[in-house]
Chain A
Amino acid sequence: MTTASANERLDAVEAKLDDISAQLQILVDAQRPVVELRDEVGAMAGDVLRTSIEQLEFLEQRGYFAFLRELKYLVERVVEDYDPGDLHELADNAANILDTVRGLTQPSVMAVARAAADTFSSAEQRAPVGVIGLMRAVSGDKNVQRGLAFGLDLLGEVGRAVARAPRMSRKQLAPVERPKQDAKAEPAPVRRTPAAEIPDDCRFLPDAEWTPDVAHAAASALGLSLTDAHMSLVKRVRSEYLESGSTPNIRKITGVTGLSTREVYALFPQAPGKTIARLAGVPKPVGCL
């Protein structure tokens, strides 16, 4: 490094230091009014603070803070019960609400409201009115008729507004989740009462397999001994089935044989229709009678 270049650098540093010193002076000069201001403000602020406190105390005495505390409760209720979407809707409707309020506070409307309020205040002095009184007022009193006309108009307007109004938005309920199910998997079985078992011996036996001996054997298995009367009934039921393709029920049996229900039950006291079908080698009768 040469001496000349070292001197140059020293000069530059010196110049920089001068700059900084000048800026510091500016800052110090600028600080002075602030200090003066603080002294002045300090004196005034004491007064302001005192006056403010007096004012607040006055408000407290007048009950404003109690009112505000209640207002806070109201605001909390609003915050809890309404979500931002509701408030947006409220804002969208603000113009409507203001229009409505303006309409309601027109002098003519207020006069009607005043009259109604006056009527209320003297309500207890009125005698009760029955159907006859209602009819008389409706048919005779022009003012009641005018009020009725107004009431009907109002009802019509309300009806039209209801018809026009979109459905009120309801807070969405959490959707119920469907149990996840594999499309290929078998659906879960539904619990059912087991079907009544159809006895194996109550089925059709073709002529090659059925003889009166088969009937006798089946009867003794049920604890019955068959007489001729039993046998003729069993054979008749079998031939009815072979002819018509369906086993006659008891009502049909009594119809075709001329036996009474009592006689059929006397021969086969337990479930005659089914017993006869079993002995005759034909299916159980169907039907309810």
Chain B
Amino acid sequence: MPHKKMSIIVAKGGLDEIYPAFILASGARQSGIEANMFFTFYGLNAVHDEKVDHLHVNLAGNAANPLPTVVAGLPGMEAIAAKMMTKKMKALDIPAPREMLKMLDESGVDMYACKLAMEMFEFTKDDLVPQIRNVLTVGEFYDVSDGGQVIFT
């Protein structure tokens, strides 16, 4: 294996935007690769204790979404889409985000939050899920990811 360490930056908080990162991290651990995750900006929603169970699917401005943008922008559409996607994932036995975070943590993925984004959103570490090990500055993130590959999702 050419790369023994992956560090995945999650900067967006839609269901469709966090799952690829989750799967990449879990797949890395299953392949014996060290994995870190770094949540920043709206990616923090995926690790916020009150928000993680209410993540939505990004519909408006999404060219791959079959709904017209005008319809996708209507109130409630993203919640409906999120419900549909969650149902589909449940049928495929894909864990919900909170369970996924627990699974990633147990399989040895180290998860961190971005200090600057935390300050911007006025979050404290207590607001986040317990799987977040630490709140890092970018410099500290580079220390953590040193020697591996960094993926920005």
A interface residue numbers (CB < 8 A to B): 249-251, 260-262, 264-265, 269-274, 288-289
CB within 8 Å for A288 and B26 given contacts A251-B93, A260-B106? yes
- Does residue B23 face the partner (Cβ distance < 8 Å to A)? yes
- Does residue B73 face the partner (Cβ distance < 8 Å to A)? no
Please list the 8 inter-chain residue pairs (A to B) with the smallest Cβ-Cβ separation, ordered nearest first: A271-B32, A262-B106, A261-B106, A270-B32, A261-B103, A288-B23, A261-B107, A265-B107
Set of chain B residues within 8 Å of A261, measured between Cβ atoms = 102-103, 106-107
Q: Are B30 and A271 in contact (CB under 8 A)?
A: yes
- Does residue B95 face the partner (Cβ distance < 8 Å to A)? yes
Set of chain B residues within 8 Å of A260, measured between Cβ atoms = 106
Q: Are A289 and B32 in contact (CB under 8 A)?
A: no
- Residue in B27, B32, B106, B108 whose CB lies within 8 Å of A288: B27
Minimum C-beta distance from B141 to chain A (A): 24
Set of chain A residues within 8 Å of B103, measured between Cβ atoms = 251, 261
Q: Are A250 and B108 in contact (CB under 8 A)?
A: no
Task: Give the docked Cα–Cα distance between A288 and B89 (Å).
Answer: 13
Interface size counted on chain B using CB atoms at 8 A: 15
Residue of A nearest to B24 (CB): A288
Minimum C-beta distance from B90 to chain A (A): 13
Which residues in chain B, 12-34, are within 8 Å of chain A measured between CB atoms? Answer: 23, 26-27, 29-32
Set of chain A residues within 8 Å of B106, measured between Cβ atoms = 260-262, 265
Task: Give the docked Cα–Cα distance between A260 and B106 (Å).
Answer: 8
Set of chain A residues within 8 Å of B108, measured between Cβ atoms = 265, 269
B interface residue numbers (CB < 8 A to A): 23, 26-27, 29-32, 93-95, 102-103, 106-108
Task: Give the docked Cα–Cα distance between A250 and B102 (Å).
Answer: 14
Q: Are B26 and A289 in contact (CB under 8 A)?
A: yes
Minimum C-beta distance from A201 to chain B (A): 16
Residue of A nearest to B94 (CB): A289
Which of A249, A261, A272 neighbours the largest number of chain B CB atoms within 10 Å of its CB? A261
Task: Give the docked Cα–Cα distance between A50 and B31 (Å).
Answer: 103
Q: Are A265 and B29 in contact (CB under 8 A)?
A: yes
Set of chain B residues within 8 Å of A269, measured between Cβ atoms = 108
Residue of B nearest to A260 (CB): B106
Minimum C-beta distance from A280 to chain B (A): 16
Set of chain B residues within 8 Å of A272, measured between Cβ atoms = 30
Q: Are A271 and B23 in contact (CB under 8 A)?
A: no
Q: Are A271 and B107 in contact (CB under 8 A)?
A: no
Task: Give the docked Cα–Cα distance between A270 and B95 (Å).
Answer: 22
Q: Can you name 6 A-B pairs with beta carbons within 8 Å?
A: A261-B103, A264-B107, A265-B107, A271-B29, A288-B27, A289-B93
Task: Give the docked Cα–Cα distance between A274 and B33 (Å).
Answer: 13
Residue of B nearest to A196 (CB): B1
Residue of A nearest to B26 (CB): A289
- Residue in B23, B30, B94, B102 whose CB lies within 8 Å of A273: B30
Minimum C-beta distance from A268 to chain B (A): 10
Set of chain B residues within 8 Å of A271, measured between Cβ atoms = 29-32
Q: Are B31 and A274 in contact (CB under 8 A)?
A: yes
Known: A271-B30, A289-B26. 13 other contacts (CB 8 A): A250-B30, A251-B103, A261-B107, A262-B106, A265-B29, A265-B108, A270-B32, A271-B29, A274-B31, A274-B32, A288-B23, A289-B23, A289-B94
